[in-house]
Amino acid sequence: MAEAPAPLLPCGPIGIVGLGLIGGSLALDLLAQGHTVRAWVHRPSTAQRASERHLATEVSTDPGVLEGCGLVVLALPLDRLLEPPAELLAALPPGAVITDVGSVKAPVLARWRGLHPRFVASHPMAGTAQAGVEAGLAGLFSGRPWVATPASDTDPVALDLVRALAELVGARWLTCGAAEHDRAVALISHLPVLVSAALLQTADRCGAAGPSELPGLVRALASSGFADTTRVGGGNPELGTLMARCNHDAVLAALAGYRRQLDDLEQRVRQGDWDGLRQDLEESAQLRPQFLS
């Protein structure tokens, strides 16, 4: 027997502002579920390419495209969420539920609580190294966490609608405080971007400082392990910079903790403490499945 289609969200057309990786992927999933998706983008070239890719029912550079939408998703960079343009604020339907997909929540929530009465701060924990209008990918959110960080005065009906959106695209729904979210993502999302960037630069610069054949050999021998540990460091530079800038204190704390762990490992190797090193690696092997379940 064929599986019954998921029920439509009770909100009419869904608006998406921005059709990069997250906005484009969300639009594709919503279209597949039978929703009408109206997308507002900034550049005419983006609108044309998004239309060619069939990313939305209607794509426009005119903010009026959002009129009549019962739910609007702000798939925008953090800097534009924190300093939203006046035309965006004017275009948001007064009765619509508004949510965002930014990877830092405390400053976004603080900014938007006074801007729209039905705002819900949220963050789908999904992504690839790609960016822009070509990056949208169907099924991106399936099985991935989608976390909301409601405030004490968040509209509970609006929160339920955003939860329905997340579950419609196959995400796992979570809620937590905004500050707790930001400390957590500093450790498991923002820190890895900086660490893998440092690994790439270390391989490049230490290789360049060695014999003439070493830089080419380092690149020729790089395989799946190096690819896995450097994927996020080779991603969108703008996104990585904004995450560090907007989550400054939590990122610094995460970097300090990581530096202490590196110092401990360095001492193990320097002192020839192979038993201690093995214990550290055994602990890591036991920990990893707990983070990937």
Q: What are the Cα distances from residue 263, in Å, to 213, 260, 267, 270, 271?
A: 30, 5, 6, 10, 12
Residue 132: CA atoms inside 13 Å, Cβ hemisphere, count? Answer: 9
Query: Model-level pTM?
Result: 0.90
Place of tokens 């998004």: 50
Contact 247, 104 (CB under 8 A): yes
Rounded to the nearest 5 percent, the helix, strand and coil shares of the chain are: 55, 10, 35
**Which domains are present in the chain?**
14-176 (3.40.50.720), 181-292 (1.10.3660.10)
Place of tokens 């002192």: 271
- Report d(CA 195, CA 191) in Å as an integer: 6
- Per-residue pLDDT 10s for the chain (293 aa) are 344 445 567 778 999 999 999 999 999 999 999 999 999 999 999 999 999 999 999 999 999 999 999 999 999 999 999 999 999 999 999 999 999 999 999 999 999 998 999 999 999 999 777 889 998 899 999 999 999 999 999 999 999 999 999 999 999 999 999 999 999 999 999 999 999 999 999 999 988 888 888 989 999 999 999 998 998 888 889 889 999 999 999 999 999 999 999 999 999 999 999 999 999 999 999 999 999 86
- Report d(CA 180, CA 247) in Å as an integer: 12
Pairing outcome for strands 58-60 and 71-74: unpaired
pLDDT tens digits, residue range 190-221?
Answer: 999 999 999 999 999 988 888 888 989 999 99
DSSP labels for 111-124?
HHTTT-TTEE-EEE
pLDDT tens digits, residue range 26-45?
Answer: 999 999 999 999 999 999 99
